[in-house]
Amino acid sequence: MTNTAITPQPGIMEIALYQGGRSGIAGRSDVLKLSSNENPLGPPPSALAAIAEAAPSAHLYPPTDHAALRGAIGEVHGLDPGRIICGVGSDEVLQFVTQAFAGPGDEIIHTAHGFSLYPVLIRMAGATPVQVPEADRVVDIDAILDAVTERTRVILVTNPGNPTGTMIPVSMLEDLVERVPSHVIVVLDGAYTEYAAGYDGGAALAGSRPNILMTRTFSKIYGLGGLRIGWGYGDRWLIEVMTRIRQPFNLSGVQLAAAEAAVRDRGWVESCAALNADQRARLLGGLRQLGIAADDSHTNFVLARFADAGEAEAANAHLLGDGIIVRQVGGYGFREALRITVGDAGQTGRVIDSLARWRRAA
Ligand SMILES: *Cc1c(COP(=O)(O)O)cnc(C)c1O
């Protein structure tokens, strides 16, 4: 179905229509969804209260400057609010940077197992995606630098990675930004920062260099994926340029209020990180005991690697039979693997038990 008289902008027809992940299983009410790295505890009660409080003002346009939310983020993380931009999920912040700084003829580098949205955002900007390999599922700085050309405008690095769960240390990020030409923006996508003990998401780097942007989200540890809020932090000029293409009312009052309450709720973040660390260790141990390979994870999911694609397919079918939805990651180049979100204690037990039964039956 095409209209030959009307031509879309360059790059748009290269984008495959997004396929949403499975969210239900016909005829089952006890479905356990571990496919989207959502918080097993749901939204924080503090954010739910803020949503209820903000709802009666839904007839009013929201503030356009996001000053209260940027102030809260700055206060909590020790960052300059003037260097923060807020978006509809970090996805929108990633769109700001790709769209504002790259176009037809420009290249944007991303790594082999980065994030499925990156090539889409790059094509949306009309730019050319350049995919570079990783080394044993870990971001490879040298491979990235080898791919840099005069046309490179942006480098997108997910740290910790999705769907790998691995990460590179700050010293290696420093090495990357030290060696990258000054006309290239390095984006550090820190969606899983709060699950990586001791990591600042790249905040210190982004605070000290003119060409680094850190992106963060309220979708993962803050339990607000359905509300769509994220933010970016970087050089004032970068933020100012991106703000020109940000729609003035991109975030609703409800989104802003929920995010502000959530970011101030440090007890929530701490308890979720502790629960995740415990259950992640248990899930990794359980998988390995069953002979299923998995790297140490610095996120709220693990990448379970099976003998081959057929075995991963069989395990997935067995899990679905038990009402458990995990993520097939063939689209990321891992046909032999399944990405499993770390749940609470009961949920993690259910996954391990299901896979143990599958192993015994095999
Ligand atoms: C989940 C995730 C995000 C967050 O996207 P939002 O738009 O903030 O929901 C960003 N990057 C990666 C790699 C992710 O996995």
The closest residue, in CA terms, to atom 1 on ligand 1 is 191
pLDDT at 1: 65
Give the Å distance between the CA of 13 and the centre of ligand 1: 24
Give the Å distance between the CA of 291 and the centre of ligand 1: 30
341 burial class (0-12, 13-18, 19+ CB within 10 angstroms)? buried
Ligand 1 nearest atom to the CA of residue 220, by list position: 1
Give the Å distance between the CA of 342 and the centre of ligand 1: 16
Q: What is the DSSP letter of 6?
A: S
Ligand 1 nearest atom to the CA of residue 228, by list position: 9
Q: Which token pair is 242?
A: 């991106």
Residues lining ligand 1, Cβ inside 6 A: 37, 89-91, 115, 158, 162, 189, 191, 217, 219-220, 225, 230
Q: Which of 35, 90, 159, 339 to mutate to test the pocket of ligand 1 (most atoms within 8 A of CB)?
A: 90
Give the Å distance between the CA of 91 and the centre of ligand 1: 6
Cis bond before residue 56 (omega within 30° of 0): no
Q: What is the DSSP letter of 293?
A: B
Ligand 1 nearest atom to the CA of residue 37, by list position: 1
pTM, entire model: 0.96
pLDDT along the chain (362 residues), means of 10: 84 86 86 97 98 98 98 98 98 98 98 90 96 96 98 98 96 97 97 97 97 98 98 98 98 98 98 98 98 98 98 98 96 95 98 97 84
User: Are residues 348 and 356 in contact, defined by beta-carbon separation less than 8 angstroms?
Assistant: no
Domains annotated for the chain, with CATH where assigned, are 18-42+267-361 (3.90.1150.10), 45-264 (3.40.640.10)
Reading across the β-sheet that carries 334-341, which strands appear in turn?
301-305, 334-341, 327-329
- Please tell me the distance from the alpha carbon of residue 216 to that of residue 201, in angstroms, as a whole number: 8
- Please tell me the distance from the alpha carbon of residue 80 to that of residue 63, in angstroms, as a whole number: 19
Q: What is the pLDDT of residues 54-93, one digit of tens each?
A: 999 999 999 999 999 999 999 999 999 999 999 999 999 9
Q: Which residue has the tokens 């769209």?
A: 99
In terms of DSSP bridges, do strands 128-132 and 107-111 run parallel, antiparallel, or are they unpaired?
parallel
Cα first-last separation, the chain:
45
Give the Å distance between the CA of 116 and the centre of ligand 1: 10
Q: What is the pLDDT of residues 118-148, one digit of tens each?
A: 999 999 999 999 999 999 999 999 999 999 9
Give the Å distance between the CA of 337 and the centre of ligand 1: 20
Strands (E), the chain: 32-33, 84-87, 107-111, 128-132, 152-158, 185-189, 212-217, 230-234, 301-305, 324-325, 327-329, 334-341
Q: What is the pLDDT of residues 142-175, one digit of tens each?
A: 999 999 999 999 999 999 999 999 999 999 999 9
Which of 112, 144, 107, 147 shows the shortest CA–CA distance to 123? 107
